Amino acid sequence: MSRAEVKLDLSRIVFIGRTFEEYMLMFNLSKEELKGRKVLDCPAGACSFTAIANQQGADVTATDIAYYHPFEQLAEKGFEDIEHAMLNMEKAQKNYKWDYFKSVEGLRNHRIQALIDCANDMTKSPNRYVPAVLPALPFEDKEFDLTLSAHFLFMYADRLDYDFHLQSIQELMRVTKEEIRIFPLIDLSCNRYEHLDKFVDFIQSQGYITEEIKVGYEFQKGANSMLRIKKV
């Protein structure tokens, strides 16, 4: 499916991302774990993980619904989205922990850096940024050693039902050879995803082992755990 065949309303897409450093903390990763591995970031948004990890010896592909749009438009939209998000953040600071960012200005700087790194890499290596819409990905079976999925599954439980989550994890398992990590395990109301135990039971029934791991990153209150899924 080409970009021309997909008509999405860019105004409905929020193009904001996390930095490489945030990813390393969110997913409890070391640089040694990344070297030489094929990694998928799904959905990747405006995160800088792909750009920086590829510089450090990994082979990372980013995929997101946003990539159906021209990259120049996305970068422009990203700067607008950051400013809009920061205005809302000023009003909702009490819902977050500020140990990492220290202030709204610190958060803004991180989001801008992620966007700049992502936009620059999109220009230099556009083939790394693959448009796709879960629960269907345009990749081969077991194409990636490691898949990372941040701030999507579980978070939007109010609009993405259990069947969508089930189909999405099946697709992530299809394209992943060794391991999947999902962060965080809560919804936008800071509550643990209500179907998480049922979700985990299904994954284990497919021959995987799972582990909930506390990580050294918490911005949204309660968002400090990831789900690690490995093939037995």
Q: Which amino acid is at 177?
A: K
Query: Which pair of tokens denotes residue 117?
Result: 């790194």
149 in Cβ contact with 175 (< 8 Å): no
How many whole angstroms separate alpha carbon 220 and alpha carbon 166? 25
Tokens of 95: 């819902």
- What is the tens place of the pLDDT at every residue in 69-91? 999 999 999 999 999 999 988 88
| CA–CA gap between residue 187 and residue 114 (Å, rounded) | 23
pLDDT digits (tens, 9 = 90+) for 21-63: 999 999 999 999 999 999 999 999 999 999 999 999 999 999 9
Provide mean pLDDT across the span 7-16.
73
Q: How far, in Å, CA of 16 to CA of 35, rounded? A: 26
State how far the Cα of 204 lies from the Cα of 215, in Å rounded to an integer: 22
| C-alpha span between 52 and 86 (Å, rounded) | 24
| Residue closest to 199 by CA, chosen among 225, 148, 151, 163 | 163
Among 23-27, 94-98, 211-215, the range scoring the smallest mean pLDDT is 94-98
| pLDDT recorded at residue 8 | 52
The count of other CB atoms within 10 Å of the CB of residue 28 is 17
Q: What is the DSSP letter of 216?
A: S
| Residue among 210, 134, 131, 128 nearest 166 (CA) | 134
This prediction's pTM: 0.94
List, in order, residues 6 or more apart from 232 with CB less than 8 Å away: 207, 208, 209
Mean pLDDT of 193-197: 96
pLDDT digits (tens, 9 = 90+) for 150-192: 999 999 988 899 999 999 999 999 999 999 999 999 998 889 9
More confident residue, 146 or 6: 146
Single-letter amino acid code for the residue at 192: R
Above 60 in pLDDT, residue 5?
no
pLDDT (mean) for 101-114: 97
The strand pairing partners of 64, in sequence order, are 131
104-124 and 71-91 helices, crossing angle to 10°: 170
User: In this structure, are residues 152 and 44 in contact, taking their beta carbons and an 8 Å threshold?
Assistant: no
Spatial distance between the Cα atoms of 164 and 155, rounded to a whole number of angstroms = 13
Closest alpha carbon to 124 in 55, 194, 205:
55
The pLDDT score that the predictor gives to residue 7 is: 42
Helix (H) or strand (E) holding 138: none
